[in-house]
Chain A
Amino acid sequence: MLYYVSIDGRDYQLELSENQGRWSCRLHGRDLAVDVAVVGRNVLSLIIERQAYDIRRELTATNVQIWVGNEHYSAEVRDPRSLRSRRTRSAASDGAKKLVAAMPGKVVRLLVLENAEIDAGEGVLVMEAMKMQNELKSPKKGKVKKIFVSEGSAVNTGDVLVIVE
């Protein structure tokens, strides 16, 4: 079966088939000798061309990470159609940038008002989470289009806090 794999934004074409636990693998048309051992859930030991690799997969709410030993790579496996649609969408959304809560917490202070002009990297608001206060900074130079929270608001992961246009 053919897989399109993207590793840290670089695309790979991979042909994989498995028969009775033996895998054959072609990467960009090149045959690779791969031995696969399942060590645990999301843990593999791979021997590729006699080199051994400790492999782990992490699935989080927002992405998939592949660890090769101590190096991690963000990975996506997908078909070419969705690849194309993703690219067009991301190009279109360049105008407005959202500031999103990376984790649950509380808004301690707002540092800007709506319609204020703001520079990239300028503080927008201060959030407290896990006993730490963190200043969230503007992702771009522009105008504060909308503020969705107020001082004291409790927010959850993924909540949109502010839009900068």
Chain B
Amino acid sequence: MSKMFKKVLIANRGEIALRVMRACQEMGITPVTVYSDVDRTALHVQKSSESYSLGRAPAKDSYLNIGKILDVARHSKAEAIHPGYGFLSENAQFAEACDVAGVKFIGPTAAAMNRMGSKTQARQAMMLANVPCVPGSAHGVELAEATRLAEELGYPVMLKAAAGGGGKGMRLVRSPQELTSAFNAARSEADRSFSDTEIYLEKFIENPRHIEMQILADEHGQTVYLGERECSIQRRHQKVLEEAPSPIVGPEMRQRMGEIAVRASQTAGYTNAGTVEFLVDEVKNFYFLEMNTRLQVEHPVTELITGLDLVQLQIRIAAGEPLPFSQSEVQVRGHAIECRIYAEDPDNNFFPSPGQITLLDEPSGPGVRLDSGIYQGSTVPIDYDPLLSKLIGYGSHRQQSIMRLRRALQEYFIGGIKNNLSLFERILRDPEFLEGRVDTGFLDRLLSPPARLPITKAHSEIAAVAAGIFAAMDNQQTGTKNSGGHPDSRWKQAARVEGMQ
């Protein structure tokens, strides 16, 4: 039997650092965290037992800096590193460097990552293994070949970074005129985000569903699938809301998809947790899209419907343990939906909104899980992804999980920065969503053309009374301090600032 780690280094920040830390603590493992200058007061640092500075805020100097992170591993004597998602999680060089340094990387091997991490290599491998793929190039292309191929497949087409992820380095091209600028834009974004300029091209499937299959593979040749997640609700190729199971996938389709996902993983010699993404068309044909060689942001919905702890299982697999269950023991029960709460302004084209959180009320109660990286008084830095937390609703069926989320959203308040809570109030009341009729065009339809949320505002008078009472209280306070002088409230200051714009 293998030996469990005593110490695990978490090379990440925000809610996912906390998520991994919790798994470690529950397993009796000492978690070691790292932080950049702007994260000194972050929750993941406060809650850890050991934490190391990485220095300056920019990701390349901190959470993306392989040398610094391995130094911390050495100093802290951590036996393994959990990369979370984003940052170094899909970086094969990092996995390789961990291997060389004698630290276990909690994830697939560098070789498997290379096979799957490059979308072009993954497509080639999948085509060989008879996994259905979206028509397009199997290799990276230059502009000339892209032009020719786009003509052949017919517009619209999709340009994608081979090293891509999170919607970066991706462009939809609807006509030949747009191709050159889209190609250059995709390439420069890919270069900036992944230091890799390889771009490939696929036929664009209009408004497909985006459904993915979670797999787990141990290091003894056993691979299982843990059911699908419906991730069609996206904005600019970034997932916003995910649910499990998918409203359109029944047991038979789940099994077919799951078996193909297992085959795809095994073809790549994949180990640990991974996700096989599929595009699904109107008649439920599905095509391999890519494999995400990491823990996904949306893993909690799978945890809730299977009753498994994916992060603990990742750690066990990395420690060399065999999977503690077989495929036939995996049961899907109930329904879970996750809302990704971002610091961005839904009334202003989802522009990021960093800053200090001045007020925070968090939801709780039956069927509510909140994986959060914030607290009242914490500051959302401008340097990283604006994900604040994930609010997950669980119920015995879809309707119940929706109602629980709606209730939880009423309890949730984040003040001081803009956030997208109101977007979920809208999605969770939308008739198409309620019927489970979602595809990747859903959110664009919901948000266009009027970008303003048509929430009925029935309480202007109440707001007026409240505003007056706050002002009166301010006056009372300043009045006592200034012994009768003209109270200069923050209201007036605020009004003045506004007047200057």
Contacts and interface: CB of A to CB of B under 8 A. Distances in A.
Given A60-B416, A67-B413, A7 B384 contact: no
A8 interface: yes
A107 to B, nearest CB: 14
B352 A103 contact: yes
B354 A103 contact: yes
Interface in B426-460: 455, 457-460
B482 interface: no
A92 interface: no
Contact of B461 (A12, A75, A77): A12
B463 A7 contact: yes
B283 interface: no
A151 B173 CA distance: 26
Nearest to A43: B359
A60 B464 CA distance: 18
Interface of A: 1, 3, 5, 7-8, 10, 12, 14, 16, 18, 23, 25, 27, 32, 34, 36, 38, 40, 42-44, 46, 48, 53, 55-64, 66-71, 73, 75-78, 82, 86, 89, 100, 102-105, 129-134
13 contacts: A8-B460, A14-B468, A16-B469, A27-B461, A46-B469, A55-B466, A56-B413, A59-B358, A71-B463, A77-B489, A77-B492, A103-B352, A105-B382
Contacts of A75: 463-464, 467
The 6 closest A-B pairs by CB, nearest first: A12-B464, A130-B352, A73-B463, A75-B467, A68-B459, A14-B468
Contacts of A77: 467-468, 471, 489, 491-492, 495
B468 A5 contact: yes
Contact of B470 (A18, A44, A68): A44
B465 interface: yes
Contacts of A36: 469
A56 to B, nearest CB: 6
B491 A64 contact: yes
Contacts of B467: 5, 7, 57, 64, 66, 73, 75-77
A64 B464 CA distance: 12
Nearest to B496: A82
A27 B465 contact: yes
B495 A82 contact: yes
B382 A104 contact: yes
A87 B473 CA distance: 28
Interface of B: 189, 348-349, 351-355, 358-359, 382-386, 409-410, 413, 415-416, 421-422, 425, 455, 457-473, 475-476, 489-492, 494-495, 497-499, 501
A134 B498 contact: no
Given A18-B472, A42-B359, A68 B463 contact: yes
B468 A68 contact: no
Summarize B's interface: helix, strand, loop or mixed. helix
Given A68-B466, A73-B459, A103-B354, 13 more contacts: A1-B475, A7-B460, A12-B460, A14-B465, A27-B461, A48-B465, A66-B470, A70-B410, A71-B463, A76-B491, A77-B491, A103-B352, A134-B349
A119 B386 CA distance: 31
Given A61-B497, A68-B463, A77-B471, A129 B358 contact: no
A71 B472 contact: no
Contact of B462 (A46, A100, A133): A46
Contacts of A12: 460-461, 464, 468
Contact of B359 (A38, A48, A58, A76): A58
A81 to B, nearest CB: 12
A36 B462 CA distance: 12
Contacts of A67: 413, 415
Contacts of B497: 61-63
B450 to A, nearest CB: 14
A37 B472 CA distance: 14
Contacts of A16: 468-469, 472
Given A8-B457, A59-B494, A103-B353, A44 B466 contact: yes
Contacts of B409: 70
Contact of A1 (B354, B463, B472): B472
Nearest to A39: B361
A58 B385 contact: no
B351 A70 contact: no
A7 B349 CA distance: 23
A90 B459 CA distance: 27
B472 A3 contact: yes
B462 to A, nearest CB: 5
Contacts of A130: 352, 354, 382-386
A34 B498 CA distance: 30
Contacts of B413: 56, 67
